Amino acid sequence: MSRWRSLLAFSLGAAAMWCVQSGLPDAQAGNNLGTDAYGKALRTVLDRYVDPVEPSRVLAESLKRIVSGLDRHSHYLTADERALLKQRSRGGTTGMIVEFQRAEAGSRKPARLEVSAVLPGSPAEKVGLQPGDSI
């Protein structure tokens, strides 16, 4: 499944670059990407991909990658993912904010969750968690 997504993301990226380079002189000059470039790239992938694909799924997957590439805090959720997240959080919260820290290449530090903030009066505060703690 992830191989299909990677191939699709690569195809969409290649199609977007082709559309930008071939049909948008303003984008080549660095002035403006143009509102049609993404639509053209998406149509190219949907029309030319080997197997039939669900357009809404392709759109959602490409938006996830675009938004997550902006910074490490931005994420795109589909309506179904947002509903699931709301459902999971109905039981309350832990009262902390964590950041995923990737394992550093050449270092012995493993990947971990690092506590960024603890809300006063929260379960996290009650068990003694503090910003900077690793989970």
* Segments making up each domain of the chain, as ranges: 2-86, 93-126
Positive or negative: CA dihedral 84, 89, 90, 91: positive
CA distance 65 to 75: 9
Phi/psi region, residue 121 (left: phi>0; alpha: psi -120 to 50; beta: rest), is left
Residues of the chain with pLDDT under 50: 24, 26-31
Q: Which two tokens stand for residue 104?
A: 């550093």
Question: CA dihedral defined by 43, 45, 49, 52, rounded to 10 degrees?
Answer: -50
Reported pTM = 0.43
For residue 12, the model assigns a pLDDT of 62
For residue 28, the model assigns a pLDDT of 46
For residue 26, the model assigns a pLDDT of 47
Provide the 8-state DSSP code for 134: B
For residue 20, the model assigns a pLDDT of 53
Long-range contacts of 32-41 (CB under 8 A, 24+ apart): 40/15, 41/12, 41/15, 41/16
Q: For the segment 85-99, what is each residue's pLDDT rounded down to a tens digit?
A: 777 767 666 788 888
